[in-house]
Chain A
Amino acid sequence: MFYRDAGQYKTTYQSDMAIFPLRQDRIGILVILALAYVAVPLMASDFILKTIMLPFLALVLAVVGLNILTGYTGLISLGTAGFMGVGAYACYKLTTLFPEVNILVWILVSGFFSAAIGVVFGLPSLRIKGLYLAVATLAAQFFLQWAFVRIPWLYNYNPSGAIEVPLRTVFGVPVTGPTAAIEVKYLIALTFVVVLTWVASNIVHGRIGRSWMAVRDMDIAAQLMGIKLLETKLLAFAVSSFYCGVSGALFVFIYLGGAEAGTEFGIRLSFIILFAVIIGGLGSMIGSFFGAGFIVALPTILKFGLPAIGIAITGAIAEKIVVMVIGALTIFLLIVEPHGLARLWQIAKQKLRVWPFPY
């Protein structure tokens, strides 16, 4: 009724190709942004901010990054957590070596370190593809995880082997470290996510994104059309790893506040992120958000929601049940909608357009 495109004429190519061609969509995104920036920090409790919003914002960038690689370019990677770790450790080293520089700059710069590592481990993608590549990227995962444990220089020879986030301020306001207010952390993470998502969305809708999709659909055909495979694939690896690196830096600096060497960025996290990409929808920006939200919210909902509706489970069993339910839900969602939550969203929007008179 209210969601109609009638009367909205597209008179230029730009308006036809816009990411949000409908006025209602544009209003909607502004409302969501306003809610995220104003309402959530004011209304939400610390618990929600801490257990849902912060991990969601940190992980969503990694999901976007992996989606660029897997969803848009068709290269499966299981090394995501390793690249996130590179970002986190790079940020830690940079801010302890140069403490006077703004931490926000270092969070962004650490993405470039991750991108460089990503390009190195992306080199095999030129010869191998598909599941073989997925296994090859495990080399990155295990090698990087090993490096985080075995190279003490990375965690400043800390005897506990962990990195602890130091206190850093921006314009006198503490941003990271134990004394930083959770609302400040939330706003910082939100800004990173909004800006970087905007950048990613523009990349994938432009020339680069199209060449990625051409490579995904058939790399030999893309090559025949004049797309240079080497540069395109490596660029995908670089951009993807950049996002993963920033995500890892945010994950440690904003959310965790410290990381044990090699335990936070294990193979499980890689799988969880791949899971988020597939549940959300391959090759979809909004899907990345759905997927990340799903994986962050699900364990919390199961842990606190099931007792609330009367199914009493104790802590130790709850963990097992949660793992079990996650596995079963994965299979269920894949069977019901292999194209992910983004596809459901699309269907819902399509239905809404003709509602309440579908014929």
Chain B
Amino acid sequence: MTDATLATRKPFLSEGQRNGLIAGGVLALFIAALVVATQTGTITRNDWIYKIFVDPFVSMVDMPDLLVQTVWEGFVAGVLYSLIALGFVLIFKASGVFNFAQGIMVVFAALSLVGFYEFLTLTMGLPPGFVAAIVAMAGALGIMFVLAVAVERIVLRPLVNQPDIIMLMATVGLTYFLIGFGEYIFGGSPKVMITSQLGLPTGSTMLDFAGGRINIQHLDVAAAVIAAVMIGVLGFFFQYTRIGRALRAVADSHKAALSVGISLNQIWVIVWFTAGIVALLTGIMWGARSDVSFALEIIALKALPVLIVGGFTSIPGAIVGGLIIGVGEKLGEFYWGPLLGGGIESWLAYIIALMFLMFRPQGLFGEKIIERI
């Protein structure tokens, strides 16, 4: 056997698997030590170690209904984070622009929907109800299309080939513009989403579960279903249509796509419009859960750690990342938050994301970063 074959022989475990095994072993040892220490009385209920590492898990097992309720709430929040992140990913894939304005587009879309509805029912005299809601939705979609064209014409085209940070700043500028514009047109006061007019279910169901009850809002179920359907439709659109193929080509390489005759400008309009549709649906879901107001802006920032976890370029990553962040955040707030005085939801998502980054700098589903000199 020569040295060359020796060198290329596959190791029994890859590096990642070995690291995983080591980490798992350390974790198992730690848990075993905790169990032993608790049983022998080395750690009492008042020790901080007990409070951090044992107590939350004990209460999870003791009260499974609360656990399921928390996970469900995290799941629903995660779906909404996923939808915002989805808008980011669509635009980042197609144009390499980190669209900071996606969160504001959500608010703006929801505001224009409600604004249109008010205009139709109050000024135009349409009877309030499903028809007016659908017409208002068409109007809001029209606004998102105009926005997409305007952004492509006014912002993206002159700034093509600029460094990432310049593009990021341009979308931050767009954010400010949309905030000012939206408040100027629609006023700063929070609005109520037209939930029932759109035919979305309201109300809630109590489920008996393991000795407790779980409260499930019908709207949340609808949100999850609509999100799933939309992701399915988007997947179909990307996989099987002509425009979808063009979009994927642009995502792979701008130059190669240009060389086979795909119009980048047209693709950008389409992708911003798609992101606008996603924003409108997200806005409806979110607006139905709370008010439609610019306070949503801060929540939209939560989509950023989702992107870190999932990777900037992966649609499944946005979904999985959103669910991880949503569930992790709610669990952390509910079980560990009181130890720190509460309110840790505001930064826990980022810490979770940072922990993922330590192991996978490109996110869970992101493309592997290859560095060349």
- Assess whether A324 is in contact with B350, with CB atoms less than 8 Å apart: no
Contacts of A127 in B (CB 8 A): 357-358, 361
Question: A108-161: which residues lie under 8 A (CB-CB) from chain B?
Answer: 124, 127-128, 130-132, 134-136, 138-139, 142-143, 145-146, 149-151
Question: What are the interface flags for B341-358 relative to A under an 8 Å C-beta threshold, 1 for contact and 0 otherwise?
Answer: 111101100110110011
Question: B149-163: which residues lie under 8 A (CB-CB) from chain A?
Answer: 154-155, 158-159, 162-163
Chain A: interface residue count, which band?
35 or more
Query: Which chain B residue has the least Cβ–Cβ distance from A267?
Result: B301
Question: A259-296: which residues lie under 8 A (CB-CB) from chain B?
Answer: 267, 271, 274-275, 278, 282
Contacts of B361 in A (CB 8 A): 127-128, 132
- Assess whether A324 is in contact with B308, with CB atoms less than 8 Å apart: no
Asked whether any CB of chain B lies closer than 8 Å to the CB of A344, the reply is no
User: What distance in Å separates the Cβ of A336 from its nearest Cβ neighbour in chain B?
Assistant: 9
Contacts of A134 in B (CB 8 A): 168
- Assess whether A324 is in contact with B357, with CB atoms less than 8 Å apart: no
- Assess whether B373 is in contact with A224, with CB atoms less than 8 Å apart: yes
Q: How far is the CA of A143 from the CA of B169 in the complex (A)?
A: 23
Question: What are the interface flags for B164-180 relative to A under an 8 Å C-beta threshold, 1 for contact and 0 otherwise?
Answer: 11101110111111111
- Assess whether A320 is in contact with B169, with CB atoms less than 8 Å apart: no
Select B179's contact among A149, A224, A323, A335, beta carbons within 8 Å.
A323
Select B298's contact among A76, A221, A267, beta carbons within 8 Å.
A267
One of A12-20, A207-215, A303-311, A326-334 at the interface: A326-334
Asked whether any CB of chain B lies closer than 8 Å to the CB of A204, the reply is no
- Assess whether A324 is in contact with B170, with CB atoms less than 8 Å apart: no
Asked whether any CB of chain B lies closer than 8 Å to the CB of A22, the reply is no
A139 and B346 contact, Cβ closer than 8 Å, known pairs A131-B164, A321-B180: no
- Assess whether A218 is in contact with B304, with CB atoms less than 8 Å apart: no
- Assess whether A338 is in contact with B173, with CB atoms less than 8 Å apart: no
Query: Which chain A residue has the least Cβ–Cβ distance from B101?
Result: A327
A138 and B180 contact, Cβ closer than 8 Å, known pairs A130-B164, A132-B361, A149-B343: no
Q: How far is the CA of A323 from the CA of B176 in the complex (A)?
A: 6
- Assess whether B98 is in contact with A324, with CB atoms less than 8 Å apart: no
Asked whether any CB of chain A lies closer than 8 Å to the CB of B340, the reply is yes
User: What distance in Å separates the Cβ of B329 from its nearest Cβ neighbour in chain A?
Assistant: 12
Query: Which chain A residue has the least Cβ–Cβ distance from B181?
Result: A324
- Assess whether A150 is in contact with B343, with CB atoms less than 8 Å apart: yes
A139 and B177 contact, Cβ closer than 8 Å, known pairs A146-B344, A338-B166: no
Per DSSP, chain A at the interface is helix
Asked whether any CB of chain A lies closer than 8 Å to the CB of B371, the reply is yes
Asked whether any CB of chain A lies closer than 8 Å to the CB of B184, the reply is yes
Asked whether any CB of chain A lies closer than 8 Å to the CB of B81, the reply is no
Asked whether any CB of chain A lies closer than 8 Å to the CB of B312, the reply is yes
Asked whether any CB of chain B lies closer than 8 Å to the CB of A42, the reply is no
Select A145's contact among B168, B346, B373, beta carbons within 8 Å.
B346
Contacts of B163 in A (CB 8 A): 338
- Assess whether B183 is in contact with A323, with CB atoms less than 8 Å apart: yes
Q: How far is the CA of A46 from the CA of B341 in the complex (A)?
A: 43
Number of interface residues of B (CB under 8 A): 51
User: What distance in Å separates the Cβ of A82 from its nearest Cβ neighbour in chain B?
Assistant: 10
- Assess whether A320 is in contact with B183, with CB atoms less than 8 Å apart: yes
Asked whether any CB of chain A lies closer than 8 Å to the CB of B305, the reply is yes
- Assess whether A327 is in contact with B179, with CB atoms less than 8 Å apart: yes
Q: How far is the CA of A331 from the CA of B158 in the complex (A)?
A: 10
User: What distance in Å separates the Cβ of A284 from its nearest Cβ neighbour in chain B?
Assistant: 15
Asked whether any CB of chain A lies closer than 8 Å to the CB of B105, the reply is no
- Assess whether B170 is in contact with A331, with CB atoms less than 8 Å apart: yes
Query: Which chain B residue has the least Cβ–Cβ distance from A76?
Result: B165
Q: How far is the CA of A96 from the CA of B304 in the complex (A)?
A: 38
Contacts of A128 in B (CB 8 A): 357, 361
A327 and B166 contact, Cβ closer than 8 Å, known pairs A146-B346, A150-B343: no
- Assess whether B308 is in contact with A132, with CB atoms less than 8 Å apart: yes
Asked whether any CB of chain B lies closer than 8 Å to the CB of A70, the reply is yes
Contacts of A220 in B (CB 8 A): 371, 373
User: What distance in Å separates the Cβ of A213 from its nearest Cβ neighbour in chain B?
Assistant: 15
- Assess whether A124 is in contact with B170, with CB atoms less than 8 Å apart: no
Question: B163-219: which residues lie under 8 A (CB-CB) from chain A?
Answer: 163-166, 168-170, 172-181, 183-184, 188
- Assess whether B169 is in contact with A124, with CB atoms less than 8 Å apart: no
Contacts of A322 in B (CB 8 A): 180
Question: A55-85: which residues lie under 8 A (CB-CB) from chain B?
Answer: 70, 76
Q: How far is the CA of A261 from the CA of B287 in the complex (A)?
A: 29
Select B304's contact among A135, A149, A331, beta carbons within 8 Å.
A135
Asked whether any CB of chain B lies closer than 8 Å to the CB of A105, the reply is no
- Assess whether B173 is in contact with A331, with CB atoms less than 8 Å apart: yes
Asked whether any CB of chain B lies closer than 8 Å to the CB of A325, the reply is yes
User: What distance in Å separates the Cβ of B83 from its nearest Cβ neighbour in chain A?
Assistant: 18
A131 and B312 contact, Cβ closer than 8 Å, known pairs A139-B350, A274-B169: yes
User: What distance in Å separates the Cβ of B3 from its nearest Cβ neighbour in chain A?
Assistant: 28
Q: How far is the CA of A52 from the CA of B266 in the complex (A)?
A: 45
30 A–B contact pairs at CB < 8 A?
Answer: A124-B354, A124-B357, A124-B358, A127-B361, A128-B357, A131-B98, A131-B168, A143-B347, A143-B350, A146-B346, A150-B340, A150-B341, A150-B342, A224-B373, A278-B165, A278-B166, A323-B183, A324-B177, A324-B181, A326-B173, A327-B173, A327-B174, A327-B175, A327-B177, A327-B180, A331-B170, A334-B166, A334-B169, A338-B159, A338-B163
